Amino acid sequence: MPENAKILVVDDELPVCKSIASALSDRYTVVDIALSGEEALKKDTAAEYDVVISDLMMPGISGMDLLNSLKRRRSDVLVILVTGYPSIRTAVQAIRLGAFDYLPKPFTPVELRSMVSRALATRALEAGTGDEPRFAGEIPAGRYAIQRNSWVTVETDGAVRVGPHHALTAPVRKITNLELPAPGEMRYQGEVCLRITDGRHMVHRMWSPVTGEILEVNKALKDQPEFLVIDPYGQGWVLKVRPTNLEADLKNLVSLET
């Protein structure tokens, strides 16, 4: 039975709208489309969608403009932005301004459905109505984050340690596969640095919060991937990175100090 959620897909290209809507239509009770930001705002006024999936680059009202307008109306609306590679840095900034997450092109139907499912699960969790246990631990000092996705902390040697935000891994059910980069590889802020596949065949992607060379990968995750869920700020760390533009990268992140 489809989940009782209302989804709006926004793109100025009709084939793109139809493709995204088709991937979601059998899972959710309402999946509508809008061909502009203006049309999306009109439809949302009437329907108040749970999730709005919008292209970032559109004529007229852009995806960023749409995000700002929707958030002024309803702070709880979940906005996912679809972006091409040149706009990933803008997408990271959009999360800082209230977007739930972003989908870099190209993406698969599984990645799309996984993100929408995680968005709805996260909202339920934050409202105290989800099935997953709420994170009960303490977030250590000095963590900066791509909200609901990944964190980074600066170490004494000038390198940084990177791991998952607890909101990313809370909805994950039994990790079945991890895809990690190798030491020596480069990652740029906003690029995927970890793929998690879970027992429901959902795929969750963690974005690198900083740009830099990977120095070390947490080998313990191979045998104990559950650390990502039960201890995301400690034993669930993922990478050690030598940053190349740390000061600028941190400006796009939020502090997790409470």
Range of the domain at 215: 144-255
Looking at the 3D structure of the chain, how many domains does it have? 2
Same domain (yes/no): 163, 226: yes
Same domain (yes/no): 93, 157: no
Mean pLDDT within 24-32: 94
pLDDT bin (cut points 50, 70, 90) of residue 71 is very high
Same domain (yes/no): 75, 183: no
Mean pLDDT within 191-215: 96
- CATH code where residue 73 lies: 3.40.50.2300
Give the closest residue to 205 by CA, choosing from 114, 138, 142, 90.
Answer: 114
Is 214 domain-assigned? yes
Domain end position, chosen among 100, 127, 154: 127
Domain end position, chosen among 95, 127, 159: 127
pLDDT bin (cut points 50, 70, 90) of residue 127 is confident
Is 27 domain-assigned? yes
Is 138 domain-assigned? no
* pTM of the predicted protein model: 0.93
- CA distances 52 to 74, 76, 212, Å, are 12, 11, 32
Same domain (yes/no): 163, 241: yes
Is 136 domain-assigned? no
Phi/psi for 171 (5° steps) reads -80, -5
Same domain (yes/no): 169, 100: no
**Res 28 pLDDT > 70:** yes
Mean pLDDT within 161-182: 94
Phi-psi region of 86 (alpha: psi -120 to 50; beta: other; left: phi over 0): alpha
In three-state form (DSSP H/G/I as H, E/B as E, the rest C), the secondary structure along 74-139 is: CCCCEEEEEECHHHHHHHHHHHHCCCCEEEECCCCHHHHHHHHHHHHHHHHHHHCCCCCCCCCCCC
Quick one: which H or E segment has residue 64? helix 63-73
Same domain (yes/no): 13, 109: yes
Domain end position, chosen among 61, 94, 127: 127
**Res 190 pLDDT > 70:** yes
Is 28 domain-assigned? yes
**Res 164 pLDDT > 80:** yes
**Res 1 pLDDT > 60:** no
